[in-house]
Copies of this chain bind each other. A is one copy, B any other.
Amino acid sequence: MTEDIEKLTQSLAKKAHSASRELAILDTGKKNAILGRIAELLEQSSDELVSQNEKDLRNGRENGLSEAMIDRLALTPKRIADMTEGVRQVIALPDPVGEEIERSTRPNGLEIRKIRAPMGVIGIIYESRPNVTIDCAVLCLKSGNVSILRGGKEAFHSNLALSEIIRQALVENDVNPDSSALIPTTDREALEHLLRLDQYVHCIIPRGGEGLIRFVAENSRIPVIKHYKGVCNLYVDSEADLELARKIAINAKCQRPGVCNAVENLFVHQDVADTFLPAAAESLVKEGVELRVDSRTRTILEDSSGSNGLKDATEDDYHEEFHDLVLAVKVVGSLRDAIEQVNRYGSGHSDAIVTKSEEHANQFMEAVDSSSVYWNASTRFTDGFEFGLGAEIGISTDRLHARGPMGLRELCTYKYHILGTGQVRE
């Protein structure tokens, strides 16, 4: 069994590598034709997909999955239509492959062109939501990359059915069906083998919970681009427009608290804390937010009407991605102090300053070590669509290669084409 899984994984990765040469040079029209066919097949197979998904839902219920998990797992006709629409959006995006990034001519006449090129083979490791299968395969295909998909066991039947659609679209377009492969087992051993096949696989993107990402990062011999948690921070500066700060705090915390670009910590400069905190706390509590506060915040709020249900914040609270209507609050002594707090507790995802001072804003944006630093706007905008990149494969919390939202371009590497007329080196 163990040996079989090793052989299976190795063979799949080897075939993927071999398909990658062909996919890398496929023209845009052909790639879009494949995506178009995937969209059609998704529409036509809606009933069949729902029925395969039923098996996963049944298993999930038997295994006691929470209602939230069951909801994430479910494929409905509406969700299938949304997936289809997502595929059509990727068709409309420009093909990143072959884009000229830079060009220079050297004194010896050599013309050096820096050209965007596919990475090759990308392994995507994800958890329960089956739409990830289509999203990731489609983004990889458009960027000329072969994808090896390894979904969660909860969505196994759904993923197999979706993968079969991708395979059919490839075959019907006379393209090697190994250009997108689902590992047909959710055995952890297969994942462990995959992570060691650096001769065939060029990049691993794990999408999921902290445990999965840690496991992948610790066991991979292949470069990993982590899509890690978002502990995002909002700092209200001494020079802030306080009404604007209040609106941004509400939006960044409450508009969709379960996502990675929602704020978890609010830092307030001591000079404005007496005015800002009572008004902000009142609005936040009205939205159902639980506040976990330091002692200075508690003192201020206890003197106002907003003190109901305050909890004392622990050190751990400031490190926590709540994924919920919970906000940790702290009063800080200076801009410098705020920057230190943000760098200490944040996960390098998205952080914001509210201030009227350009100098303070620039200091904050330069010194805060995050992928996305906002001045007078909600952190909720960290997203491929909002940044104008189109559909995203995720939001990288790493620094190498891609940082922040990863779209089609970020799924590519580059290469140099050097055009000469017989130049040799002296």
Contact = CB atoms under 8 A, between A and B. Distances in A.
A197 to B, nearest CB: 13
Interface stretch (A3-11, A70-78, A171-179, A362-370): A362-370
Q: How many copies of this chain? A: 2
Chain A residues touching B, majority SS: mixed
Interface stretch (A45-53, A277-285, A315-323, A376-384): A376-384
B375 A424 contact: no
A380 B251 contact: no
Contacts of A377: 110, 418-424
B399 A203 contact: yes
A251 B422 CA distance: 11
A182 interface: no
Given A373-B417, A415-B370, A423 B378 contact: yes
A388 B106 contact: yes
A251 B106 contact: no
Interface residues of A, number: 68
B425 A378 contact: yes
B418 A373 contact: yes
A21 interface: yes
A120 B367 CA distance: 12
A415 B203 contact: no
Name which of A255, A418, A424 has the most chain B CB atoms within 10 A of its CB: A418
A398 B223 contact: yes
Given A217-B221, A255-B425, A401-B400, A419 B375 contact: yes
A371 interface: yes
A404 to B, nearest CB: 6
A223 B397 CA distance: 13
| 9 smallest beta-carbon distances between A and B, as pairs | A377-B420, A251-B424, A380-B425, A399-B413, A401-B401, A400-B401, A377-B423, A372-B416, A376-B420
